[in-house]
């Protein structure tokens, strides 16, 4: 089974990135042939600072390795180091109906939130389709919010196959029903766009300050809170605490006499401890950046070994060769 997933280097990675994409990807590296790419082409739709793109790209690689990605089990590479992604994207664009993209909710959602529209943002699903099809991926693990983009990929693969003959493997989405729900400090979905994140590898004081600023309701310390599981801090605690600590904290909150300050203090302690080993590995990686670059170079070579074959197959099929 060949597995593919990607993550944008559009900012500093946070808990939502880790529990939503990174940890599931690291777990999957044990189950098949895993290809994970840093989607620096995709980041160009929202990030226009070249220096920051380089910095964030390197940070994603370091953080992924620190969190447990094993380059002996998974291929990690930069999207831009495999130019076949972009060439195939153009070939797919030539068979992509405009209506298919106009129906994509991701573009409409971003525009509704005030993101400036551009062609890259509109055509994002075509490049995403190329990202997937270029590796003959069987399985694409995504959350429910990305299911539509995999359906676009399947549509484009079938259209190309119908027009030019069997060329692409039509992938199956693996919808993660248990996608981690990690609220931001304001209670909304944790996202760099909303500045409501908690960094994975931030400074201790900065992380504590973010956690202590999590929005809570106005109920007093003595008041029982029967809906404790829905509390923002509790929902984050569920991901970083052991079962006993989580249950004890929830029950104390339900009973009353246990304030939100206590919850946040417990959350910080568990959060800091949860990433302790990863912080240690990250320090080692920062002292050996040549190794990080070597991982990306070797990853790109392995990725191109497959991508070049699939891309040539498409070129031959449509008459470019």
Tokens of 1: 């089974």
- Among 78, 192, 208, 264, the one annotated catalytic: 192
**What is d(CA 77, CA 297) in angstroms, rounded to the nearest whole number?**
7
254 closest CA partner among 235, 290, 228, 233: 228
Residue 189 bears catalytic tag:
yes
**What is d(CA 271, CA 169) in angstroms, rounded to the nearest whole number?**
41
Helices (H), the chain: 15-17, 23-28, 40-43, 50-66, 84-93, 98-102, 105-112, 119-122, 124-133, 147-164, 204-212, 232-240, 243-255, 260-274, 276-286, 289-317
Neighbours of 318 (CB within 10 A): 16
Q: How many CA atoms lie within 13 A of 26 on its CB side?
A: 15
Residue 110 bears catalytic tag:
yes
**What is d(CA 215, CA 240) in angstroms, rounded to the nearest whole number?**
19
Q: What residues pair up with 35 in beta bridges, in sequence order?
A: 4, 75
- Among 23, 159, 181, 189, the one annotated catalytic: 189
- Give residue for tokens 């990305």: 146
- Among 110, 225, 264, 266, the one annotated catalytic: 110
The catalytic residue positions are: 110, 189, 192
């Amino acid at each position: 089974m060949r597995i593919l997933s990607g993550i944008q280097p559009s900012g500093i990675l946070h808990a939502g990135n880790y529990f939503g994409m990174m940890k599931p990807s690291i777990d999957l590296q044990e189950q098949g042939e895993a290809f994970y790419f840093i989607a620096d082409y995709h980041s160009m739709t929202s990030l226009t600072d070249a220096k920051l793109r380089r910095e964030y790209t390197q940070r994603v690689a370091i953080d992924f390795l620190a969190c447990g990605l094993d380059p002996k089990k998974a291929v990690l590479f930069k999207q831009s180091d495999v130019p076949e992604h972009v060439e195939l994207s153009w070939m797919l664009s030539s068979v992509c109906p405009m209506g298919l993209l106009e129906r994509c909710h991701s573009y409409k959602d971003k525009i509704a939130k005030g993101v400036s529209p551009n062609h890259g943002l509109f055509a994002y699903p075509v490049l995403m389709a190329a990202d997937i099809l270029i590796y003959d991926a069987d399985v694409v693990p995504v959350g429910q919010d990305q299911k539509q983009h995999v359906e676009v990929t399947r549509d484009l693969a079938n259209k190309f196959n119908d027009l030019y003959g069997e060329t692409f493997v039509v992938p199956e989405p693996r919808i993660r029903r248990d996608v981690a729900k990690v609220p931001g400090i304001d209670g909304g979905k944790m996202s760099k766009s909303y500045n409501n994140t908690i960094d994975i590898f931030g400074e201790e004081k900065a992380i504590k300050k973010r956690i202590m600023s999590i929005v809570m309701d106005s109920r007093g310390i003595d008041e029982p809170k029967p809906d404790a599981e829905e509390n923002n801090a509790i929902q984050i605690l569920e991901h970083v605490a052991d079962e006993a600590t989580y249950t004890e904290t929830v029950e104390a909150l339900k009973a009353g006499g246990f304030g939100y300050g206590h919850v946040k203090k417990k959350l910080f302690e568990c959060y800091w401890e949860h990433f302790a080993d990863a912080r240690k590995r990250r320090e080692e990686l920062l002292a050996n950046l040549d190794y990080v670059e070597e991982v990306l170079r070797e990853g790109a070579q392995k990725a191109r070994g497959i991508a070049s074959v699939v891309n040539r197959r498409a070129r031959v099929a449509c008459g470019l060769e």
